[in-house]
Amino acid sequence: MIVIGVDTHKRSHTLVALDAATGATRGQLTIPATDEGTLLGLRFAAELDPVRVWAVEDCRHVSGRLERGLLASGDRVLRVAPGLTETSRRAVRQPGKSDPIDATAIARAALREGLDTLPAAHLDEQALEIRTLNDYRDQIVCERSRLACRLRWQLVQLAPDLEAKLAPASLDHPQVRERVARRLARLPRTAQVRVAKLTLKRIGQITVEERELRAEITALIEAHCPALLAEHGCGPVTAAIIIGHTAGAQRFRTDACFARHAGTAPIPASSGNTQRHRLHRGGNRQLNRAIHIIALSRARTDPATRAYLNRKHAEGKTKREAIRCLKRHVARRIWRILYTSAPAPHERPVNPNGTVKGDAPALMQCTR
């Protein structure tokens, strides 16, 4: 068996194959970052060993095409976080930095961490589509916020009395934009007024585009995982972040693996007689943010969640520690929803009693 470390770049990928038992180098190849290059890499791997695992540096904006080609061929692909390779580089005698050195460090990091512990790449085209649309929606929303701030500063000079009456984010509403447009129409036709009108027009266009994107994303989520939208505190945008950044719940063996990926699993911080855990600042921060939003929404509006938090407070936990416990429960619930809604249940692992691993009763109650 071999482990092939892949150092990914925009134009090329460097492959280094290591023997899984001895760690010795079995081969090295640099391929172009194209479909033809992926075929060259597969032929290179097939000549070395039929049993192989690919350890790809987790930079999906440059490794996505390669991962899709490898998965389509039936190969097993693991994602290695860039931070894990630093220890592998320091542990070898060879100094310097090059693509082969980096690829070797990636393969060694995969062997050191364990091939069964690293997250596996997974093809989920629906999740990719949802994430792509939601990322674009986030971009235009940020653009709208910048334009709104710019317009308000222009109104400070053109119509300060009107600007003082505008509430935060009020330019998102069509009635407010119409009122601003009427005021600008009465002003002298200067270059500053013209720019303000163009800015206001662009804000309206983005608002319409964002509304259409939100409706499209909601329809995709209802077709992909409608149970997620039924969760208390989980709206379409939050659900889109969860689905897009999870990229297939089947690649996580347990809810604990998913919680570690989301940064909601606490880290041991004990010493001597002191037994405690601390916040994990790693993991996918976008996924962590989505789970945090759900936790805060439940803490504010769900009676069962408030009772759970009150019990944690009575146990001596602080408000932040209680929220962390709640986020761990939410992560478990989300993983079960995504896992059980998979389109191919026959491919999922099965327990000895015939039940599917990860299946759980209807709703995880926070009162556990």
Rounded CA-CA distance 94/355 in Å is 50
d(CA 362, CA 368): 14
- Residue ranges for the chain with pLDDT beneath 50: 344-368
pLDDT of residue 355: 39
* Owning domain of residue 136: 125-224
Give, as one character, the DSSP assignment of residue 171: G
301 domain-assigned: yes
Residues 24 and 97 in one domain: yes
At 95 the pLDDT is 65
Helices (H), the chain: 35-48, 60-72, 85-90, 99-113, 125-158, 160-165, 174-185, 191-224, 226-229, 236-246, 255-262, 285-301, 303-314, 319-340
240 and 305 part of one domain: yes
7 found inside a domain: yes
d(CA 221, CA 305): 25
Residues 213 and 262 in one domain: no
Closest CA to 57 of 1, 112, 106, 119: 106
**Of 113, 139, 158, which one is at a domain's C-terminal end?**
113
Give the closest residue to 341 by CA, choosing from 245, 266, 229, 260: 229
Are residues 59 and 92 part of one domain? Answer: yes
Total domains in the fold of the chain:
3
Q: pLDDT tens digit string along 312-323?
A: 999 988 898 899
- 130 and 109 in a common domain: no
Name the pTM for this structure: 0.75
